[in-house]
Amino acid sequence: MQTQTRKIITRGDPWFEDGNIILVAKEETPASSEANPIGFRVHKGVLSRHSEVFQGMFELSRPDSILGSVDEAELTRYEGCQVISMYDIPIELSNLVKALYDGVIFRNRSLDDFFYLASILKLSTKYFVSHLRTLAIKHLTQTWSHDLKGHDTMLELAIRTPPAPYSPDSSSPANKLSYPYVHPIHVLNLARSTNVQIVIPSALYFLSLYPLTDILRKDHPKLRVVHPSKPESDLSSLDLKYYTLMYQRRMDGILEFINTLVGDRASPSSEIPCPNRSAKSCTRNFHRLRTRLATSWVVRTGPFNFIAQAISSVNQDPDGFCTACREAFVKDAGDYRERFWDELPSVCGLPQWDAMKEEELS
């Protein structure tokens, strides 16, 4: 009679000695099939309280045969606890379980913080843990914003935050990754895989700042990082279409601003006429501004920052523009920025910002 060797479960974090169920992470990789499985000893009641999926799983779980044993009675038990196989990456399952016990704190100090959030968002979506999913989405929108103020704040942080070194392990050379550390493609693919819509317009907008040749090469340092929770680095055919549309809309928006809002300006109104109208100095200076703007932008120019800089330039030039023309331009350009931002979801084939906020953040 051939003797079977009983597999040993490697204790993962968390492992509670008074736990009454063991979740075993089963990675479907050649390496993982040879190693001892990693388990997490937890409490049915705690997990069931947060997730109906876990509750149903515990109620309907059938004998599991991942642990080889001579004794059939031990096939579903280890150290007196029921064993359930979870087809999840061990580090992601560990992150989720610890978040259910201890709560979650999301940060944005390095790329690892994004991968931690990605693990929580993926498994909270899979197991219907709604409060963790909502917290993860809200944190994502602090960087990949749904409003123009958040976008401006992110740009300010990107300008003043120094690059952070990142290395997947101690033996690999570190790359310096600029804020916000993660590539827009990874944000986009994470959002698609978890059915999160509200960060897609911002991610596609920032992705449109990258040349298509760079995207197709997939050799950007942010795409070449190695981590178990890294989303896909390929751009789907659907998002390639929306990338193209966003790229074109960005170009059109810059040209429309330069040629119409700056180049075709007249006196602000008949009620508040330009005191320099007879000398036409304001009009002449707007034409000069148009020429300067037309020769200063490049294909990677972001229109929102570009327009904000033009507003600042006019606002800080009281000698070149009268008060009435300055105030009218600041208002018109600011309104144009807002309208442009409000159009981003429609470029991506998505509902308006307010509808997505109501659906995913409330």
Q: Round to whole Å and give the CA distance between 189 and 118.
A: 10
What percentage of the chain carries pLDDT values higher than 70?
A: 87
| Structure-token match 């809002």, residue found | 261
Tokens, residue 350: 């998505």
Q: pLDDT tens digit string along 23-44?
A: 999 766 545 555 788 999 999 9
User: Per-residue b/e over 277-293, b at no fewer than 16 CB within 10 Å?
Assistant: eeeebbbebbeebbeeb
Rounded to an integer, the average pLDDT of 299-325 is 93
Q: How far is CA 321 from CA 139, 262, 269, 275, 328, in A?
A: 42, 13, 15, 10, 11
Q: Round to whole Å and give the CA distance between 208 and 245.
A: 9
Q: How far is CA 296 from CA 89, 287, 292, in A?
A: 48, 14, 6
> Which secondary-structure segment (H or E) carries 78?
strand 77-78
Tell me, what's the pLDDT at 277? Answer: 59
The answer to whether the CB of 114 falls within 8 A of the CB of 181 is yes
Q: What is the pTM of this model?
A: 0.89
Tell me, what's the pLDDT at 272? Answer: 62
Rounded to an integer, the average pLDDT of 54-79 is 60
* Amino acid occupying residue 198: I
